[in-house]
Structure formats: structure tokens, C-alpha cells
């Protein structure tokens, strides 16, 4: 009788020792968002070393919510347990109470990790654990139509830097060159010599920066013309892409424009800021999104940064030479 009890206890503890520990949890960074806000959704899986998890596919579970970006998984290990966190950036362009249902996390154990059957739920070696549902609310920005439009902050002056000063010097040099050309043309014409027509065309980055400066002086969004402001600033940048890189950016959507930019090596430095810039403008123009003043100011800063970071090296040397004069 004692032997039987001992055998039962031995089998019980052996089975407990072979049991695999795994759990999954889901969360967002807030329970209340405004239309167009970024929603950071995290799936965290805690599991034994002998377990191999399969990255979750969440597209089918997110009805009415757009996936803006899927980040790279983050792996950590502590006290013999592994943790993998999957990060997703979501957004919603209409007000609603949203519930993200429980997400299944599929995994294999032990030697089963050698299987390469993918996400086939009929596979006997495939097991799953379920994360908790997540709820949050998306609301429209409240606007009091009876009140005047006021700035969130007082207008702030952006200090001039040496790049802008050098740019103005370059423009001055170009103007002087044009005047000198006209003078020579007049002198040659007076002397009866044949005049050779020459067209001087400003570089695309000079045209774009001048256009941005003129737009800033119009103060459109400060006077309530927010959509006009975002339409004009994106048109300036799209026209700059057409002149600078030969892209048909004025005729393309944001996703098509980004696809072409990714095919050009010289645009790598501006891809992230350009995607953020164009997405913010699209939300204002198409999603009835009313941005804060800080977003409008940031749009102008991003537009200038996109142009300044893609000035051809030859032009940069000219500007640096003018700066040292």
C-alpha cells in the first residue's frame, strides 16, 4: 500500500515538473483617446525556455481599427522564464467604444519546436494560450462654436540659425549673378554683339524653402484655415519631391509616395518624418481631425527638415562656402 502511494506521488510530481508555464496579457496605454490618436497596443507572453511561440496575427481581430505600425518583438529573460512583447500602433478615425477581443497566442513545446507547419490549427503539436480582451473609448474633439478661436500658446519666434543665414546669402549671390548677367547682356546688345539667352533656374530646395516661408507668413491655421494650411504645405513638399527626385508625387496617394521614396537610397534619412508628416495632413484633410496648434507648428518644422536634409551635397558645399565668407 505504501509503495502504491509513493508511486502515485512520484507520478504526480513528475507530471507537475513536465508541465509548461505560459501566460499572455494584452494592454493599451490609455482607456480614452481622441479621433486620430495613436493607440499603443501591447501583447506580452511569459513562457518557459522549452516553449517556442508563433508571432500572432491580429489583423482579423481588429475590426474598425487601423494598424499604423507593427513594431519588432522585444525579448527579455529573467529567472529562467522568457518574455516576448509584441507592439502595435493602432488608430481609429471615428468615435466609438472599442473592444479588442482575446487574441490567441499559438506555441509548440519541446521537440515540437522542430516542426515547421506554420499556423495550422489542425496540427496536433500546436497549442494556444489566450490573452485578455482590451476595451477603450475613442471620442471626437469637443468644439464650442460660440467662442472665438484662440491659440493654445502665444506665438513663438523661431530663432534664425546659420543655415538660414547661409541660404539668404546664397539667394543674394544668385540675385547678384542675375543682375550681372542682365548688365552684360545690355552692354553686349549696345555694342551690337549677339546676345546668348540663358535661363537661370533656382534649385528645388531653394524654391521649396521660399514657399514654406511665404506660407508661414500667411498665418492660415492661425486664422482658422486649417485644411487650407495642410493642403498647401503638403503640396509644397510633394512638388519638391517631383523636382528633386523626379517623382510624380502630386498625383500619388501617401502610400504610393512612400513606396517610391523607399525605392530611392538618398531618401532613407527622411522616410520616417515624411510618413508622419503626410499621415498627419491626411487626417486633417480626410478624417475631420482638428489638430492642436503644436501639431500645425510641428508640420512646418518637419517640412523644413525634409527639404534641408535632402539638399544635394554640391549645393551644401556652396552654402557652407557662403557661410564662411
For 211-245, write each residue's pLDDT tens digit: 999 988 988 888 888 888 888 988 998 998 888 88
Q: State the pLDDT at residue 143.
A: 67
Calpha distance 210→205 (Å, rounded) = 8
Containing structural domain, residue 66: 20-139
* Predicted local confidence at residue 44, as pLDDT: 92
Q: With DSSP H G I counted as helix, E B as strand and the rest as coil, what are the percentages for the chain, rounded to 5?
A: 45, 20, 35
Residue 155 lies in a domain: no
pLDDT at 115: 44
Percent of the chain with pLDDT strictly greater than 70: 77
Return mean pLDDT, the chain: 81
301: in domain: yes
Same domain assignment for residues 68 and 103: yes
Q: What is the pLDDT of residues 134-147, one digit of tens each?
A: 999 999 877 666 76
Residue 266: inside a domain:
yes
Q: Which residue has the cell 508622419?
A: 276
Is the domain of 43 the same as that of 166? no
Task: Give yes or no: residues 108 and 238 share one domain.
Answer: no
| pLDDT above 50: residue 292 | yes
Higher pLDDT, 322 or 141: 141
Predicted local distance difference test score (pLDDT) of residue 175: 95
More confident of the two residues 144 and 80: 80
Residue 152 resides in a domain = no
Q: Are residues 297 and 173 in the same domain?
A: yes
CATH code of the domain in which 63 resides: 2.60.40.10
What is the model's pLDDT at position 320?
Answer: 53
Which pLDDT does position 34 carry in this prediction?
A: 93
Distances (CA, A) of 98 to 28, 56, 131, 220: 12, 20, 16, 35
**Which tens digit of pLDDT belongs to each residue from 262-282?**
888 888 888 899 889 888 888
Last residue of a domain, one of 79, 107, 139: 139
Count of structural domains within the chain: 2
State pTM to two decimals.
0.40
Q: Does residue 301 sit in the same domain as residue 230?
A: yes
Q: Give one DSSP letter per residue of 302-313, joined into a string.
A: HHHHHHHTTS-H
183 and 238 share one domain: yes
**Quick one: 133 and 207 in the same domain?**
no
Residue 325 pLDDT > 60, yes or no? no
Q: Is residue 4 part of a domain?
A: no
pLDDT digits (tens, 9 = 90+) for 158-174: 666 788 888 889 999 99
Query: Do the domain assignments include residue 184?
Result: yes
Q: How confident is the model at residue 116 (pLDDT cuts 50, 70, 90)?
A: very low
How far is CA 152 from each of CA 146, 228, 294, rounded to the nearest angstrom? Answer: 17, 20, 8
Question: What pLDDT, on a 0 to 100 scale, did the predictor assign at position 236?
Answer: 92
Q: Work out the pLDDT band at 25, boundaries 50, 70, 90.
A: very high
Amino acid at each position: 500500500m505504501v509503495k502504491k502511494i509513493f508511486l502515485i506521488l512520484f507520478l504526480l510530481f513528475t507530471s507537475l515538473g513536465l508541465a509548461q508555464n505560459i501566460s499572455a496579457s494584452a494592454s493599451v496605454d490609455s482607456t480614452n483617446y481622441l479621433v486620430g490618436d495613436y493607440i499603443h497596443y501591447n501583447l506580452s507572453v511569459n513562457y518557459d525556455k522549452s516553449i517556442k511561440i508563433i508571432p500572432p496575427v491580429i489583423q482579423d481581430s481588429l475590426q474598425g481599427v487601423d494598424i499604423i505600425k507593427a513594431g519588432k518583438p522585444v525579448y527579455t529573460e529573467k529567472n529562467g522564464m522568457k518574455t516576448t512583447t509584441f507592439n502595435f500602433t493602432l488608430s481609429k478615425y471615428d468615435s466609438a467604444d472599442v473592444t479588442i477581443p482575446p487574441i490567441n497566442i499559438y506555441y509548440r513545446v519541446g521537440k515540437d519546436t522542430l516542426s515547421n507547419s506554420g499556423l495550422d490549427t489542425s496540427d496536433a503539436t500546436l497549442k494556444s494560450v489566450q490573452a485578455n480582451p482590451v476595451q477603450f473609448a475613442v471620442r471626437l474633439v469637443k468644439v464650442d462654436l460660440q467662442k472665438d478661436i484662440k491659440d493654445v500658446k502665444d506665438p513663438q519666434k523661431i530663432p534664425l540659425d546659420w543655415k538660414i543665414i547661409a541660404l539668404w546669402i546664397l539667394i543674394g549671390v544668385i540675385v547678384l549673378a542675375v543682375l550681372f548677367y542682365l548688365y552684360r547682356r545690355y552692354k553686349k546688345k549696345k555694342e551690337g554683339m549677339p546676345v546668348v539667352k540663358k535661363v537661370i533656374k533656382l534649385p528645388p530646395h531653394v524654391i521649396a524653402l521660399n514657399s514654406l516661408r511665404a506660407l508661414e507668413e500667411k498665418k492660415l491655421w492661425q486664422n482658422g484655415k486649417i485644411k487650407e494650411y495642410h493642403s498647401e504645405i503638403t503640396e509644397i513638399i510633394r512638388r519638391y519631391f517631383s523636382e528633386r527626385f523626379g517623382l510624380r508625387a502630386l498625383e500619388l496617394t501617401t502610400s504610393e509616395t512612400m513606396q517610391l521614396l523607399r525605392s530611392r537610397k538618398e531618401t532613407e534619412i527622411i522616410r520616417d518624418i515624411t510618413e508622419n508628416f503626410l499621415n498627419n495632413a491626411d487626417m486633417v484633410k480626410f478624417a475631420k481631425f482638428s489638430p492642436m496648434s503644436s501639431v500645425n507648428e510641428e508640420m512646418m518644422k518637419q517640412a523644413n527638415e525634409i527639404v534641408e536634409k535632402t539638399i544635394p551635397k554640391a549645393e551644401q558645399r556652396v552654402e557652407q562656402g557662403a557661410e564662411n565668407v
